[in-house]
Amino acid sequence: MQLTLTTLYHKMLYEMGPSGWWPGDSREEIIVGAILIQNTNWRNADQAMTLFRQKTAFDPDRLLALPTDQLQTLVRPAGFYRNKSRSLVSVFSWLKEWHYDYAAVRQHYGLQLRKHLLSLRGVGQETADVFLTYIFDVPTFIADKYARTLFTQLGVANLTDYQSLARICQLPADFTVAMAKDFHGQIDEFGKVYFHPLTKFQESFLAGDRLILPPTKGVIS
């Protein structure tokens, strides 16, 4: 079966149900999680998340008030604790300047918001797109490893890194914020089930399908 992004999403939703992603009760918790998950797995990140929950309740001002050594201790289970600690301080210090008014940040930066996010320490392409979708309610496709693996199995060629998919895959205009959030969750939950090992994909409900991506209107930078 040939699928568009929209029909792929609805087929996954029908087969798997709502994903409930991103796991987190507040924007601040999601920000912490998105930084901690970099270059590690959910098990390690979740250990650090538990420490942050106990110590700060994900209150950004409490996080920013922590001495460097205490902050690094909380981050340590997620690895790269020095860099991730600096990233958390960078992101939350910037947001504090806006009094954590996410709507005001989105309105101020407009189409330049992604570019500014990328200028923050420790915020790369994937984290910026997670922030756009889950923090600032800008529907954005997140071209992570699970997405690249899925789309390769669905016949999209030459997906070698984040940009190779991000530049050719933009969500349709009728994709709502809720759909964008859930689509990312659907893809990652699918990957956890059917990509370990990859041969399990042939047992999935998407086996034999092909994805057709529309021409892009511009290049994501």
Instruction: Look up tokens 């709507």; give the residue.
Output: 103
Instruction: Name the band, by pLDDT with cuts 50, 70 and 90, for residue 219.
Output: very low
pLDDT at 216 over 90: no
Computed over every residue of the chain, the mean pLDDT equals: 95
pLDDT of residue 214: 82
Cα–Cα dist 9/29, whole Å: 26
Give 77-96 pLDDT, tens digit per residue: 999 999 999 999 999 999 99
pLDDT of residue 221: 47
Instruction: Name the band, by pLDDT with cuts 50, 70 and 90, for residue 201.
Output: very high
Give 25-36 pLDDT, tens digit per residue: 899 999 999 999
Cα–Cα dist 19/74, whole Å: 28
Distances (CA, A) of 128 to 65, 97, 102, 108, 200: 24, 19, 14, 17, 31
Give 165-192 pLDDT, tens digit per residue: 999 999 999 999 999 999 999 999 999 9
Whether the bond between 22 and the residue before it is cis, its omega within 30 degrees of 0, is yes
pLDDT of residue 217: 60
Judge whether 7 and 213 are in contact, CB under 8 Å.
no
CA 121 from centroid of its chain's CA atoms: 17
3 state SS for 150-209: HHHHCCCCCCCCHHHHHCCCCCCCCCCHHHHHHHHHHHHHHHHHHCCCHHHHHHCCCCCC
pLDDT at 160 over 90: yes
Give 68-78 pLDDT, tens digit per residue: 999 999 999 99
This prediction has a pTM of 0.94
Task: Give the three-state DSSP class for 215.
Answer: coil
Backbone angles phi, psi at 3, to 5 degrees: -120, 145
Give 107-155 pLDDT, tens digit per residue: 999 999 999 999 999 999 999 999 999 999 999 999 999 999 999 999 9
